[in-house]
Chain A
Amino acid sequence: MSASVNVVLRVRDLRVAYAGNQAVDLKSLDVGQGEVVGVVGANGAGKSTLVNALAGWSRGAPRVTGEVALGGQRVDGRPTHERIRSGLLLVPEGRLVFGRMNVEDNLSTAFSPLAAPGRKVYTRDEIYELFPRLKERRHHLGSQLSGGERQMLGIGRALMMGPRVLLLDEPSIGLAPKLVQQVLDTMRTLARSGLSILLVEQNVRAALEVVDRLLLLERGRVVLEGPAAQVGNDPRIAQAYLGVATA
């Protein structure tokens, strides 16, 4: 476990089941204050299903059971928009911006919670400082932004909603290496300022650069867990991606 004592996100026995098929079966997951936890795994391992379920949303109509607690308070059973307002923020994969609104308006769509301990609510100017590119393009429509700019916008809007935990679903997908680096650097900065991050990534190498702890997901279950330095070179990770079943 990490050195942080303060557990911000606590998940126990999270199960997502589609008609006889267990998409996610997570026994336990803790994310501490300022910790960056990575979830990696091959395609279809259940990573997206996991973070979507944490945000209270699932594609189709599966059975979702388990405990999810944010800052000590249970949020499972509460609808998505309430979890968002409590500070459990998800930046989804792909669906990031309101294409028909410009950058400024997209950022304005973020509702503003009251600031609280452990909950920094970023202002629009702070987002522009963090992502100067967004400031340059602030009058452009969401649909006119590039992939990297959309990612920044998605993260920026989430930050304006005062996250206690930020769930990121494959932020590096489709991005050029330089942009991937930029996203990772941003994450490191945010974590250092106390934000807890759960990062879902297919790109293990990228994830390893920024996470404190890593989980390997295979068919919905955690098959490997530990500090990044320790687990990073574990051959099981490569095997999971190449599809070789572990013993």
Chain B
Amino acid sequence: MNLTQQLINGIVLGHAFALVAIGWTLLLGVARLVNFGHGQMYMLGAFVTWWAVVKAGVPYVLAVPIAMAIGALFGLVMQRVMLKATFEQNLVSIMIMTLGFGYVLHGGAALVFGSTGQILDTALSRNDITIGDLWFTWQDAAIVIAAIVVFVGLKWVLDGTRVGRLVRMVAEDPKLAMLAGVNVRRVYYGVFAFEGAAVAFAAGMVAPRTPILTSMGFEEVIMTFVVVVLGGIGSVTGSYVAGVALGLFTALFGALVSPAYTSAAAFLVLIAVLVLRPRGLSAGPAAGAH
């Protein structure tokens, strides 16, 4: 096993994990909402991109924004249906409803796209970059770059803009934010639309790496969960670091031990962390009570 090659795989994988998890970071950190339909929304983003590129002949550069728009729309619909529960902070109902939404997406996607695996080939994924013994594709490079851009961008928006401050106010205390004139409902909608668009974007970027199935999505949720909790709930920087760390761990574990049990191993790492440090590895800024 070429260690450097595995490290490169790990870095690419890690950035992919971080990118998939970014919607959750905001959703959980700001709105304290858990979206169990996350995996199915990822699947939807992957399939919409695939359909647009392979079936409808749309250029990849346009297909991804289309998937993002559909993802954002779905996020808005979800939030609209769950609005009352969101305001009542009825987490039990919200969690179950997102599971239901995910199941509907699964059934709907299988109906529309079929249940066989598909491969999303893009110009980027077909072209390799070789440096000596090491190789990766342009798609891999794009994933890393995209993840970094998105994370830096989000951090900048949250810390440096007015919109970001509104979001942080709602994250800390929705009621007080209301009394400060913030339209909290609009913020919740925005955060859910972001989750939908972000996970679809991640899918559009990452899906070309492996075959996609309408029954997929569950492993993605676990990895996202591990990333967000390890990084400290609500911490943007934390999620990035945890994502890359998880990617390296997964690549090395897969190469050294077994590729089939990587999510199980990641989960056990998370359990170990939760038992030893219930607040996650970084005491994130939004790791407050809910």
Question: Which residues of chain A have a CB within 8 Å of any CB of chain B?
Answer: 55, 57, 61, 79-81, 84-85, 89-90, 92, 95-101, 105, 108-111, 157, 161
Contacts and interface: CB of A to CB of B under 8 A. Distances in A.
Interface in B147-202: 165, 168-169, 172-173, 175-185
A100 B285 contact: yes
Nearest to A90: B179
13 contacts: A55-B179, A79-B183, A81-B178, A85-B181, A90-B179, A97-B176, A98-B176, A100-B288, A101-B168, A101-B172, A109-B165, A109-B169, A161-B180
Given A100-B285, A108-B165, A109-B165, A81 B182 contact: yes
Nearest to B286: A100
A101 B169 CA distance: 9
A121 B88 CA distance: 33
Contacts of A111: 180-182
Given A100-B285, A109-B169, A95 B175 contact: yes
A95 B180 contact: no
Contacts of A95: 173, 175-176
Contact of B180 (A79, A84, A100): A84
Nearest to B176: A95
Interface centre among B88, B172, B176 (most CB of A within 10 A): B176
A84 B285 contact: no
Contacts of B185: 79
A84 B169 contact: no
A97 B180 CA distance: 10
Nearest to B288: A100
A80 B175 CA distance: 10
Nearest to B184: A81
A84 B180 CA distance: 7
Nearest to A142: B172
A109 B169 CA distance: 8
A84 B288 CA distance: 26
Contacts of A85: 181
A96 B177 CA distance: 10
Contacts of B88: 61
Contacts of B177: 109
A157 B173 CA distance: 15
Contacts of A89: 179
Contacts of A57: 175, 178-179
A101 B182 CA distance: 16
Given A108-B165, A109-B165, A99 B180 contact: no
Interface centre among A55, A99, A100, A101 (most CB of B within 10 A): A100
A99 B172 contact: yes
A161 B180 CA distance: 8
Contact of B179 (A61, A84, A101, A108): A84
A55 B176 CA distance: 12
Nearest to A85: B181
Nearest to B84: A61
Contacts of A97: 176
Contacts of B181: 81, 84-85, 110-111, 161
A80 B176 CA distance: 11
B178 A80 contact: yes
A60 to B, nearest CB: 9
Nearest to B87: A61
Nearest to B182: A81
A148 B172 CA distance: 21
A111 B177 CA distance: 11
Contact of A84 (B165, B168, B172, B178): B178
Contacts of B285: 100
Contacts of A84: 178-181
A85 B172 CA distance: 21
Interface in B239-279: none
Contact of A100 (B172, B178, B183): B172
Given A84-B181, A101-B172, 10 more contacts: A80-B179, A81-B184, A84-B178, A92-B179, A95-B173, A95-B176, A98-B172, A100-B172, A100-B285, A105-B165
